[in-house]
Amino acid sequence: MELWLRIDNDPAGTAATTLYRWLARDRQLARNVRLSPTTGEPADGEMTGGSLETINVVLSNSIALASLITSIVAFRKAQKQQRDSSGNPIVVLLERPGRSVAIDDDSTAEDVGELLDAADPAAAGVASDGDAR
């Protein structure tokens, strides 16, 4: 399964960069999750890529999703003191086509998996015409 992680209200990409480094250091994730950063276009006058916009995540199995959610929740708790520019807590969004789920301190892999599957009728066992399989 391919997903994307994004930090809401992080135009400079600093929180996304911190999250990427956090996840990359997690040995549990390294076995079943492939991470790759996606940067924006360089700003005027810059030669290299812009700030980190999203983290592409490829999961090998459902256990990997549980490990990913656990690591994101731990990241949010460790970053509790960090706030975005408006003083709000950092919001981590887990996305796939047609669906975005905010990960909070109480998120579980089961909750997130159900929400992500709800966006994909094929994953939920529903045919494209709406009939159950």
3-state DSSP of 35-83: EEEEECCCCCCCCCCCCEEEEEEEECCHHHHHHHHHHHHHHHHHCCCCE
The CA distance from 68 to 89, in Å, is 19
In whole angstroms, give the CA distance from residue 38 to residue 129: 35
Residue pLDDT tens, the chain, 133 long:
899 999 888 878 888 999 999 999 999 888 899 999 988 765 555 555 567 889 999 998 888 888 999 899 888 888 876 554 556 677 899 998 888 888 887 788 787 877 777 645 444 333 334 333 3
* Dist. CA 66–CA 103, nearest whole Å: 12
What is the Cβ-side half-sphere exposure of residue 100, based on CA atoms within 13 angstroms? 9
